[in-house]
Amino acid sequence: MLAMAGRARSFGARAEAYERFRPGYPVELFDRVTAYRGSPPRTALEIGAGTGKATRLFARHGVAVTATEPDGAMLAELRKHMPAGVRTVQAAFEDVRPGETYELVYAAAALHWTHPEGRWSRTAALLEPGGVFACFGGPVQLADPVVEETVRAARAPFLESDGIPSPDGTPPESAMQWPGTELQRSEWFTDVEQSVIRRRLTMSAADYVGQLSTISAYLILPPLDREQVFGRIMRVLPGTVEIAADITVHLARRRSPGRGKGDEG
């Protein structure tokens, strides 16, 4: 738990690199959320907005986004690129005051950093009745399994894995992945859906290592170890790499007040 807390607080030092090297989100994601809702959302609260990769997607489609982010450096980077209609709040999700409600609450590669206790009751309190929760993200991986294995071997002396384990222990082969598993068990949500947006990107080896430099598993390494592991990875990469950057999307609807799980039929 302490290690995860350290990882959650590690991004600010690399805010500019995060903005430069992390891929954004495609319009297909907005279309998928809109299709699930039945219409485009007018208002949204974003959990852990980072530098605003997802903020821009929704704001450019006319959504009035309130973007929350606990890290001041990340929020400052977001504000450099902030489109019209975005309100920013420096706050962790747990510190967002209930009161105002939204048609959409969403998290882009950030929900795993929130505290599990009260996560879903807090989310439900921020949604209008029938409002939609969306969570999306996924690892950026090398598409060629041979190159991926070569990089894993180069990384191994310093880091066994650079991923994040499932917060509820769901194995990767399960049909429903986290947070869909928790949403299905929650008394606050219904109509849970999971889908995947397939993406393939091409980038230089240097940009790929730049992207790795924004991943928390590397950020918490001692500086010398971090420099050495990036050097080892660069030496085994071809000049250009293909990236698998699939986006797993989870969608759920807030239950109407007074309607329990047993009322569905």
Letter string b/e over residues 39-71, b meaning 16 or more CB atoms within 10 A of that residue's CB: ebbebbbbbbbbbbbbbbbbbeeebbbbbbbbb
Domain 2-139+163-199+245-256, architecture per CATH: 3-Layer(aba) Sandwich (3.40)
Q: 């990882």: which residue's tokens? A: 7
What's this model's pTM, rounded to 2 decimal places?
0.92
The model's confidence at residue 259, banded by pLDDT at 50, 70 and 90, is: low
Q: What pLDDT shows up at residue 57?
A: 97
Cα 55 to chain centroid, rounded: 12
Q: What average pLDDT does this structure show over 206-213?
A: 96
Q: What pLDDT shows up at residue 98?
A: 83
Q: Do residues 6 and 220 lie in contact, with contact meaning Cβ atoms separated by under 8 Å?
A: yes
Q: Do residues 132 and 253 lie in contact, with contact meaning Cβ atoms separated by under 8 Å?
A: yes
Q: What pLDDT shows up at residue 84?
A: 80
Q: What pLDDT shows up at residue 83?
A: 81
pLDDT of 213-257, one tens digit each? 999 999 999 999 999 999 999 999 999 999 999 999 999 999 986
Q: Which sequence spans correspond to the domains of the chain?
A: 2-139+163-199+245-256
The model's confidence at residue 99, banded by pLDDT at 50, 70 and 90, is: confident
Residue 181 has pLDDT above 80, yes or no: yes
- Count of Cβ atoms closer than 10 Å to residue 171 Cβ: 7
